[in-house]
A = this chain, B = another copy of it.
Amino acid sequence: MALEKLSSNKVFDGDLVKYKFKSTALGNLDANFNIFIPAHASKGKVPILVYLSGLTCTEDNGAQKAGFLGPAAKEGIAILFPDTSPRGAGIAGEDDDWDFGTVSYIVHCLMCRVYDTIRYDAIRVCGLYGAVGAGFYLNATNPKYEKHYNMLTHVTKELPEVIQQAGLPIDFSRQSIFGHSMGGHGALTLYLSSIFEGVKQYRSVSAFSPISNPTKCPWGEKAFKGYLQGGVEEAKERYDATELISKIPKAPVHILIDYGTADNFLKQGQLLPENFLKAARDAGFDEVQVRVRSQDGYDHSYYFISTFGADHVHFHANFLKA
């Protein structure tokens, strides 16, 4: 699992480095990730914030467009940007749709886009073949996908391991997680399920426009029916933030969610943050522990994320530097 450095760009006095390695979790496929290492790391190990990107994205979207690096540089926090999906598994049917598996052809990355409609066309995303991905941050149990679609293990276990083995100056005992849309679902579920397992891998979680109750929305239903042998029922146990928050032991949690009122996916019922909020309040979590903010007039794009990006980094800094 040796890391191969693909590129390094100096940014805000730190470095944004892109690595590639042979991923065991993803069935021996090549996996890329970006990691921002702040200048502070020259003085000792730094805490880390994991950013999970949304449908159709790669490890690049958050690094390039979210506005996290300036605030992270100031706080002395590293940011890990994993990819969203295994690439090149070659499973039959995996690239038929843009919101399931991986897709090579679609006009403009959904999350990069300025336009608000999704247009299908024989055009590749961001100039990178296979740049679209919908791994849903789970471990597949459907035999067709279980060899490769294990983004949960990839993000929670494999990446921390390879990064530590490579000797990068990261202290994984101070780790938090955030994400956007499908990545918001990933961040919330990985955070909550690690509490269930008693591991408490992450100190805090935040999300932009997360898919908050995926067993009740078309994106989630499609993913779970495809990746999981037990389908939506199996997903309720592990992969639905609303289900998880309603069953969680009364541990202190640190959760921040922002979504925009002009988000078309909110209007289409794909996100359902209101379900998550209700479940959290019903379970007795107050506004200090679970904060869900409705942001007037904002949509699903990286313009929205960049507006509140600094806010989220500072939220996590409270816990990472405590």
Q: Which residues of chain B come closer than 8 Å to A298, judged between CB atoms?
A: 10
Between-chain CB contacts (< 8 Å), 10 pairs: A7-B114, A9-B301, A10-B303, A34-B114, A64-B114, A108-B128, A124-B124, A124-B127, A125-B127, A126-B126
How close is A251's CB to chain B, nearest CB, in angstroms? 35
CB contacts under 8 Å to B, within A1-53, are: 6-7, 9-13, 16, 18, 34
Q: Which residues of chain B come closer than 8 Å to A34, judged between CB atoms?
A: 114
Check A127–B106 contact: CB distance below 8 A.
Answer: yes
**Cα-based distance from A65 to B65 in the complex (angstroms):** 5
Name, among A11, A16, A70, A116, the residue most crowded by chain B CB atoms within 10 Å (CB to CB): A11
**Cα-based distance from A114 to B11 in the complex (angstroms):** 12
Check A7–B127 contact: CB distance below 8 A.
Answer: no
Interface flag for A60 (CB, 8 Å) = yes
Q: Which residues of chain B come closer than 8 Å to A9, judged between CB atoms?
A: 114, 299, 301, 303-304
Interface size classification for chain A: 35 or more
Interface flag for A163 (CB, 8 Å) = no
Residue from B6, B16, B306 within 8 A of A115 (CB atoms): B6
| With A64-B112, A123-B124, A126-B127 already in contact, 14 other A-B pairs whose C-beta atoms are closer than 8 Å | A6-B114, A6-B115, A7-B116, A9-B299, A10-B303, A11-B303, A64-B302, A65-B65, A67-B70, A70-B310, A106-B127, A107-B127, A108-B126, A112-B126
